[in-house]
Structure 1
Amino acid sequence: MKKILAGIFFFHSLISYAQSDHTKVVLSDITEKVKNNYIDKEAYKKVDSLFQNESKKGSFNHLSKKDFAALLTQKLRININDKHFFVKYLENYSPQKAVDEKEREKENNFHNSLENFGFENIQRLEGNIGYINFKGFASPESSEKTLAAAINFVANTNSLIIDLRENGGGDNDMLLLFCSYFFDKKTDLYTTYFRNKDKTVINSTQPKTSGQKYLHKNITILTSKKSFSAAEGLAYFLQEHKLAEVIGEKTGGAANPVDHFIIQNQYLLLVPTGEITSSISHKNWEYIGVIPDQEVKAEDALKAAHLKILKNILKTGTKTELSIPEIKNLINKLEQ
């Protein structure tokens, strides 16, 4: 019996040793990636200290690889104060199975098409108000036609609501293309400095778009705590250029772009490698989030925006399909 117990103990010791060795290699690799790529060149010291302290406390012991990745994400975001850090366990990943860039892009485009490239709902609200419910920024190559169709649909409205309350961000080039629909000429919005390349890129709107531009009209953007990254960028730059009013909640606060890294052929690591700087304020929304012009709970943002636009229609005498009594009745209904 003693021999059996000793064997079991030895077996579990081997497993614990293997887990410990695996953990050390992964933590070391992540620290190295942060050191070489993160926008703050000194941040890796915090990461190294974090990992050493957590290892001593046994925080990473006896975790599944999925839970290990989730805990790393949580610790990195809190310790470095950057919500773009992300670690995910890649089950059954192997370099041999990794598809080339074109195949990966094709696969991503297919999955994005199943969600209509983020365009959840396009409609015209009472009072001739356009409404676009947009949930994610896919690549402009794949979603340009859908974006053009969405803007063309609302082209004849007097004002527009863009709902970003469930938008978690996405492609930077799509952000620029979307912004381009609201600027009458090419405009430099921001620069991005990449430390790992020692390179600065100027990010500008496009002078021409495939759809009809939406110019010189009132635009309202709805936000929530879930609005993140590129979604925050759309709200931030249109607000900053006084092209849109933001109604809702303060956003997540993730401005800086990321690069993807594979750790030990088992984990996906996202590291913010660039820093965005606005051409107007010379700042960004990192850590802070986009501050709404009118702060309300996310679930109340659409009604608040609709009411404000209707009241402005009465004030300015803007012509719509509704008569003045009909507008007043609609306002009363919304306020109840």
Structure 2
Amino acid sequence: MEAEKTKKKVRMPETGKRVMKQKVLPKKLPELKELTPETIRETIAGIQKAIRENYVFPEQVEDLCRSLETHHANSDYDQITDPRTFCEQLTQHLRNVVNDRHLQVMLPGDMSNIISHAMKKPSEGNKRAHSDLTNVEILPGNIGYINITMFNPLSDSIDELEGAMQFVKNTDALIIDLRKCRGGHGDSANFLLSYFFDSEVPFTLLETYFRPRNQTFKCQTTKTPFTYTKPVYVLTSSFTFSGGEHFAFALKIHKRATLVGSNTGGGAHPVALIGLDTGILFKVPIGRTYNPKTNEDWEGTGVTPDISCSEDNALTEAQKDIHTMRARA
């Protein structure tokens, strides 16, 4: 069941509009071939400016900026000649101040590698292959299985998400595998989440606050072709991050799925990617996604599974629980 080549008009939910548009990336950043005292000074100044204007927690801004200033004053960067090592050191110094894994300094090539890895073609053994979904199939016992490694923009992925759900529509239970999911776009995650709730009436799953705009957006369900009402299981690992955690967290707090596996990575902050004049990229958290009823999120702590087990055993444990549930029925 291959996705159609033509794109259909997307029914964009309100949350699809929540991506911040920063003056961020110039069309082409200058290539940073070597570090100079001027480059180091300008990079630190650019990062400090971005933090002051954007970082989600204003009360931590000056501590972050002061840390870089102190390391610079102590000549901690003077002996570094490799640009990538410089980026890694800056990242570590920032994360020593706040436990925020979305804070990152990198080279443009590093970002390209991340994107390429997320979009790589799945192995030949997979029965279905898409950019978001590396595998969709029916397991023994009429159990649906969807493996998601990345939530791409909804405009690009709506066909395959709808196709996958149509494929598993008549199953007796569904397993969604997020063990290799590094995140992606909230609009796609929210669209897929909508299949598991009554989509006739918009339902607030989570909320996201953005500091640059000082605005809060509701992450709501949107209308889907049908509602999947059977039991849902979500497989997690320490590699599950950001958008993958968003998906798992929403299902958990609304008691719509059983999470199986290990604690997730702990990244609840949407980011802006800012290009500095020195040719370095800075990924800065600009918001936080949370449970609107409790104000809790998963930043730094991750999402805790309902059934704890090793990543490798998560699929087997989920299948066992489904069979146990059936035996009790």
Q: Same fold (TM over 0.5)?
A: yes
Give the Å deviation of 1:277: 2.7
The TM-score, its normalising length taken from structure 2, stands at 0.80
Q: Secondary structure in 2 aligned to 1:181? A: helix
1:273 aligns with 2:290: no
Separation in structure 2 between the aligned mates of residue 274 and residue 124 of structure 1, nearest angstrom = 38
Choose from 153, 163, 167 the match for 1:139. 153
1:297 aligns with 2:303: no
* Other-structure match for 1:250: 263
* Other-structure match for 1:70: 88
* Other-structure match for 2:27: none
Separation in structure 1 between the aligned mates of residue 149 and residue 60 of structure 2, nearest angstrom = 32
Separation in structure 2 between the aligned mates of residue 38 and residue 58 of structure 1, nearest angstrom = 24
How large is the Cα RMSD of the aligned pairs? 2.4
Higher helix share: 1
Separation in structure 1 between the aligned mates of residue 310 and residue 138 of structure 2, nearest angstrom = 23
Give the Å deviation of 1:18: 6.5
Choose from 13, 24, 43 the match for 1:26. 43
Give the Å deviation of 1:112: 4.6
Give the Å deviation of 1:213: 2.9
Give the Å deviation of 1:60: 5.4
* Cα deviations by residue, 1:134-164 (Å, 9 ceiling, x for unpaired): 1011000000000111111111110011000
Separation in structure 2 between the aligned mates of residue 60 and residue 244 of structure 1, nearest angstrom = 51
* Other-structure match for 1:35: 52
Separation in structure 2 between the aligned mates of residue 78 and residue 137 of structure 1, nearest angstrom = 29
The TM-score, its normalising length taken from structure 1, stands at 0.79
Report if aligned partners of 1:196, 1:273 keep a CA contact under 8 Å in 2: yes
For structure 2, which runs of at least 5 residues remain unmatched after alignment?
A: 1-33, 123-129
* Cα deviations by residue, 1:157-187 (Å, 9 ceiling, x for unpaired): 1001100001000101111111111111320
Choose from 107, 111, 130 the match for 1:89. 107
* Other-structure match for 1:158: 172
The structure with the largest alpha-carbon Rg is 1
Report if aligned partners of 1:37, 1:271 keep a CA contact under 8 Å in 2: yes
* Other-structure match for 2:219: 203
Give the Å deviation of 1:58: 2.0
Separation in structure 1 between the aligned mates of residue 104 and residue 227 of structure 2, nearest angstrom = 36
Give the Å deviation of 1:57: 4.9
Separation in structure 2 between the aligned mates of residue 72 and residue 18 of structure 1, nearest angstrom = 14
Q: Segments of 4+ in structure 1 off by > 6 A?
A: none
Report if aligned partners of 1:20, 1:61 keep a CA contact under 8 Å in 2: no
Report if aligned partners of 1:119, 1:134 keep a CA contact under 8 Å in 2: yes
**Residues 235 and 60 (structure 1), Cα distance of their counterparts in 2 relative to 1, 3 Å cut:** farther
For structure 1, which runs of at least 5 residues remain unmatched after alignment?
A: 1-16, 94-107, 317-336
1:178 aligns with 2:192: yes
